[in-house]
Structure 1
Amino acid sequence: MPNSSTATAKPRALSLAQPTADSMHLGNYLGALRQWVGMQDEFEAFFGVANLHSYNEWPSPEELHERTLATAAQIIGAGIDPDRSVVFVQSQIPEHTQLMWTLACMTGFGQASRMTQFKDKSAKRGVDTTNVGLFTYPILMAADILIYQADKVPVGEDQRQHLELTRDLAERFNARYGDTFVVPDAHILASVGKIQDLQEPTAKMSKSAASPNGLINLLDDPKKNTKKFKSAVTDSGSEITYDFENKPGVSNLLSILSAISGTPVPQLVEEFDGKLYGHLKVAVAEAVADEVSPIRARALELLDDRAELERLLDRGAEKARTVAYATTKAVYDKIGMLI
């Protein structure tokens, strides 16, 4: 079986972030970005901005362009070092879509139709507004992974089915044409607990939140985020306990503080014994501000110096394309395509 790490002592990992909002939020950071930073020590890491995927949501050209740069700036601002990792924008590597077509021709219609996210999103959109890009999204995701011969892919539960499709396609190609692709495994990210909406703590923190006051954006002014924490929905009573069923608001604040500080929730409950909800809100707001402010500052610095940001991304694209082209050429040679 091919091994991506033949030229390096480290296995290779890959993950992409979609630029679907003007700013990434606290859930994105705790659930993925912060953990990517630690992966740089263990892996030869490729981290990208999946702007081809986000086009499925039909953003305006201006939105797509600005959000792509903002997402890249936040990835670097969070601690992904372009000198240690390959940081790139997906659309700058045309081999992604070249490999996608090859894989699409090997994917059964029934298998693609069974993808849970496609079924859920197409049911919400309706037949008239469901595009083919949404249907082939998992195949492009498979190409994103296989083109870099990734050994490990950080995934959440909502992406496990897509990774299984990726593994199936790699094994199918290898069986037909000989060992070509590394068959990737999931890299399980550490659980940070539930990061819920501040105004609707029974719902996951999301860019599609009903109210912007429930969302903590990495690029927002710290004072604005502090205000959101102070107005966060809590629960009846006054005791600070962890009980998501009966006290989702307080439990959410405890989860966030635990994820930021590394202090176990039971210990936090002890520390806040006898204190009021207001004390907890202030503590969470301060901890988040201390963690996020340097990320925001670095990201805004890069966004103010577009030439430097684009230089870093161009350099990353050059490195990424070297690997992507080698994989695509190997695939084309085996299937009889000219390149």
Structure 2
Amino acid sequence: MNTYVAEIGEIVRSHRRDDEYIDEIADRLSKISKELLGQRTWIRWFPYLKTISSVLYYSSTVVIGNQTLGEEYVHLFESDGLQRVVPSIPSRLSFVFLHSVFPLISNYLIQKAESTLIHPSTDQFLGIRIRDNRKARQSFLDVFHWLRTTLFPQLQRAHIAVFYITGAYYSIARRVTGIRFLSASAHSDIPALKVYRFLGYVTLIQLSISILLFSFSWIKQENQTKKTSSSKDLDVDSLPHPTFQCSICLENRNPSALFCGHLEMTPLSMNLFTYGYKVASRHFSSNHPHPTIYFTGIQPTGIPHLGNFFGSIEPWTDLQNTVDQNILMMLSVVDQHAISLGPLPAEQLRRNTRQMTASLIACGVDPERTLLFRQSDVPQIAQLSWILGSLQTTSKLARLPQYKEKQERFKKGDIPVGLLTYPLLQAADVLTFKATTVPVGEDQSQHLNLLGGLAYAFNKTYQTELFPIPKQLTREINARIRSLRDPEKKMSKSSGGERSRIENAFATLTTLPKVDSLLFQIIDSREKIFEKCQKAQSDTGGLVTYDKENRLAVSNMLDLYSAVTKIPIAEIDFSTWTTLQLKMNLAEAIDKKLAPIREKFEDLEKNRENVVFTMEDLEKQKCCIYNLERLIPYANLKNALQ
């Protein structure tokens, strides 16, 4: 059979079809993993399903020497260069790794490095001391931020532009491995080739302009730094990376990576110079530094339990005691989030809010150091949430794993709107105060990505540099506390999960949560603590041993003992302990840990006037709160909504 060099349009359509099949595999894997592994495991693995699907797809086609479904669709064949021979097995394996796995690994390593650098307790990085060297810390952060948001995307854009011009090596992975495409068809679409080449040249020119502007801006900032003795950190943004809408398939994609295969891209070509140059000029002509602000929120669920303490409260107090005193730290009791799953009686919400605030102060949150306030006292948050809603679609919100998990607890049609718009209010919490760092758990990573996208979309829509792109600070959880009743589950106020934290009429829920009676609240009396420890699940294995595979319940109690006493498992001498002694020692340790917290809480409850939010301090920080009237000129808002 005669073969010919594949044309650009055929290659683009082939890859587009392959992406569709990979997306379909990812959707099916998502449903299967959700059914077999449960909600929590599914949420943890959800970000990796696309990579797993890609590896499975190419392993079952490219690795074993078969055509992909996309290649079969347009009659393409893989070749080792132009030698018209099947690529070697090492080349095919290398392609799968570089194309599917390497982007995930590189992104993970960069984000891990950024999290390490952001955390104030980090002493050294790559052998350089950064704890007291703010300039070195910021330099490392700038490098990794530049790699992730500028270098990698711009390399991809440049490579696609070269592909449009030369027609060879659609992906960087194929260029590295030398795998090209041959076609069984001999036809040639000259007009299409001309359009693709024009698009490639335009993209290269636009990219060159962006690089020049970036270079001039960087040189200007370096000169300013040398002239001044100020140690103020520079905030160098990434190269502009706007998306454009194809006039045929109506999909928003990178201008140099339109996979739809359509050729009528005249609006795109016109916008590349006008819009791209304006964005780049505005982006690099001035610097818009934002002061470092730490922000997090906690729902008023009443009295916290030990899981809340070790998972959220203690990590925040650790940050509070280690972060530079000049950095503003804000902790919001998000009472409006508490009704996202349904209404609550007003008196109950007020009581829960007061108890949560008193608990935070009793656990070590210092109102003199942390700006502690109530979410509903800042009406601008709800206003901004509404505006952000105009920049987001319901389909994207509905794809978030947390929404998918919680919606199944409601009957069809009875899902509260607040559950869907919860991430918008969460984004408004952070952006209202222009927070730059958000300490959250790993399960909130997708919400933080959504938040960053909203901040970028807002700045772009209203032509402003108002909001910074917040960075996620993954909390170093001191201990993962499991339930004493069922060690396979985390310690929670019920087995029903998040919903159980709200005492509500469960008329719209499909299942009623069961309250865990062995939950340690931070104000439990000594008698209750000993009673709950005695009822904790154990076994009849004799002396205590640490074996999570065979003695999970006993190992769980040892983990809790280690978390409470701050003694590593390896340093605890439990060789002569029986399970009863372990329970008694655990109860004694918990009581010793909670006694001062309990006393402080009781004192605050007796003197409720001390449980007040520092709203006067918040008023003094008006520089952090955006001004709605000045923020959006009426003409811009009117034009945006027409």
TM over 0.5: yes
Residue 303 of structure 2 aligns with which residue?
23
Offset at residue 337 of structure 1 (A): 5.7
Structure 1 segment 223-234 matched on structure 2, within 5 A: 223-234=527-538
Closer/same/farther in 2, CA of residues 183 and 227 from structure 1, 3 Å limit: same
Partners of 1:162 and 1:79 in 2: how far apart? Answer: 28
Residue 287 of structure 1 aligns with which residue?
589
Residue 277 of structure 2 aligns with which residue?
none
Question: Could you tell which deviates more after superposition, 327-336 or 284-293?
Answer: 327-336
Partners of 2:440 and 2:466 in 1: how far apart? Answer: 23
Residue 206 of structure 2 aligns with which residue?
none
Residue 158 of structure 1 aligns with which residue?
443
Partners of 2:360 and 2:339 in 1: how far apart? Answer: 19
What stretches of structure 1 of length at least 5 have no aligned partner? Answer: 6-10
Residue 571 of structure 2 aligns with which residue?
267
Whether the 8 Å CA contact 2:358–2:605 is kept in 1: the answer is yes
Q: Tell me, what secondary structure is at the counterpart of 2:391?
A: coil
Whether the 8 Å CA contact 2:315–2:477 is kept in 1: the answer is no
Partners of 2:616 and 2:524 in 1: how far apart? Answer: 28
Partners of 2:636 and 2:375 in 1: how far apart? Answer: 26
Q: Tell me, what secondary structure is at the counterpart of 2:296?
A: strand
Offset at residue 275 of structure 1 (A): 1.3
Residue 557 of structure 2 aligns with which residue?
253
Partners of 2:394 and 2:467 in 1: how far apart? Answer: 22
Partners of 2:395 and 2:547 in 1: how far apart? Answer: 42
Offset at residue 174 of structure 1 (A): 2.3
Partners of 2:576 and 2:635 in 1: how far apart? Answer: 69
Offset at residue 295 of structure 1 (A): 1.6
Q: Tell me, what secondary structure is at the counterpart of 1:153?
A: strand
Question: Could you tell which deviates more after superposition, 74-83 or 132-141?
Answer: 74-83
Offset at residue 335 of structure 1 (A): 7.6
- Residue 318, structure 1, aligned to residue 619, structure 2: yes
**1:119-142 Cα distance to aligned partner (Å, 9 max, x none):** 111111123321111100011001
Q: Which one-letter code corresponds to 1:332 in the other structure?
A: I
User: Which of 315, 325, 329 is residue 45 of structure 1 equivalent to?
Assistant: 329
Q: Which one-letter code corresponds to 1:249 in the other structure?
A: A
Partners of 2:419 and 2:635 in 1: how far apart? Answer: 27
Offset at residue 31 of structure 1 (A): 1.0
Q: Tell me, what secondary structure is at the counterpart of 2:517?
A: helix
Partners of 1:66 and 1:152 in 2: how far apart? Answer: 30
Question: Could you tell which deviates more after superposition, 149-158 or 68-77?
Answer: 149-158
Residue 106 of structure 1 aligns with which residue?
391
Higher RCO (CA 8 Å, separation ≥ 6 residues): 1
* Bigger-Rg structure (1/2): 2
- Residue 173, structure 1, aligned to residue 458, structure 2: yes
Whether the 8 Å CA contact 2:562–2:569 is kept in 1: the answer is yes
Partners of 1:327 and 1:247 in 2: how far apart? Answer: 57
Offset at residue 330 of structure 1 (A): 5.1
Partners of 1:31 and 1:308 in 2: how far apart? Answer: 26
Closer/same/farther in 2, CA of residues 120 and 180 from structure 1, 3 Å limit: same
Closer/same/farther in 2, CA of residues 331 and 230 from structure 1, 3 Å limit: farther
Closer/same/farther in 2, CA of residues 333 and 87 from structure 1, 3 Å limit: farther
Residue 477 of structure 2 aligns with which residue?
191
Partners of 2:296 and 2:304 in 1: how far apart? Answer: 15
Closer/same/farther in 2, CA of residues 333 and 277 from structure 1, 3 Å limit: farther
Question: Could you tell which deviates more after superposition, 298-307 or 108-117?
Answer: 298-307
Closer/same/farther in 2, CA of residues 323 and 302 from structure 1, 3 Å limit: farther
- Residue 300, structure 1, aligned to residue 602, structure 2: yes
Partners of 2:634 and 2:540 in 1: how far apart? Answer: 65
Partners of 1:157 and 1:163 in 2: how far apart? Answer: 10
Q: Tell me, what secondary structure is at the counterpart of 1:47?
A: strand
Q: Tell me, what secondary structure is at the counterpart of 1:142?
A: helix
Q: Which one-letter code corresponds to 1:116 in the other structure?
A: P
Structure 1 segment 27-106 matched on structure 2, within 5 A: 27-40=307-320, 41-42=322-323, 43-57=327-341, 58-106=343-391
Partners of 1:335 and 1:173 in 2: how far apart? Answer: 15
Q: Tell me, what secondary structure is at the counterpart of 1:125?
A: coil
Whether the 8 Å CA contact 1:4–1:182 is kept in 2: the answer is yes
Count of residue correspondences = 328
**1:60-110 Cα distance to aligned partner (Å, 9 max, x none):** 222111000100111111111111110001111111101101111101222
Offset at residue 283 of structure 1 (A): 1.9
Whether the 8 Å CA contact 1:239–1:273 is kept in 2: the answer is yes
Partners of 1:50 and 1:97 in 2: how far apart? Answer: 12
Partners of 2:307 and 2:348 in 1: how far apart? Answer: 21
Partners of 1:68 and 1:335 in 2: how far apart? Answer: 40
Partners of 1:241 and 1:328 in 2: how far apart? Answer: 60
Whether the 8 Å CA contact 1:37–1:79 is kept in 2: the answer is yes
Partners of 2:443 and 2:623 in 1: how far apart? Answer: 28
**1:140-171 Cα distance to aligned partner (Å, 9 max, x none):** 00110111111211111222211111111112
Whether the 8 Å CA contact 1:93–1:317 is kept in 2: the answer is no
Residue 411 of structure 2 aligns with which residue?
126
Partners of 1:264 and 1:304 in 2: how far apart? Answer: 37
- Residue 204, structure 1, aligned to residue 495, structure 2: no
Offset at residue 213 of structure 1 (A): 2.5
Offset at residue 28 of structure 1 (A): 0.4
Residue 221 of structure 1 aligns with which residue?
525
What stretches of structure 2 of length at least 5 have no aligned partner? Answer: 1-234, 236-287, 496-513
Closer/same/farther in 2, CA of residues 73 and 279 from structure 1, 3 Å limit: same
Residue 547 of structure 2 aligns with which residue?
243
Partners of 2:529 and 2:352 in 1: how far apart? Answer: 20
Partners of 2:580 and 2:414 in 1: how far apart? Answer: 45
Residue 631 of structure 2 aligns with which residue?
331
Residue 8 of structure 1 aligns with which residue?
none
Whether the 8 Å CA contact 1:92–1:317 is kept in 2: the answer is no
Partners of 1:197 and 1:319 in 2: how far apart? Answer: 43
TM-score normalised by L of structure 1: 0.89
User: CA-atom RMSD, angstroms?
Assistant: 2.2
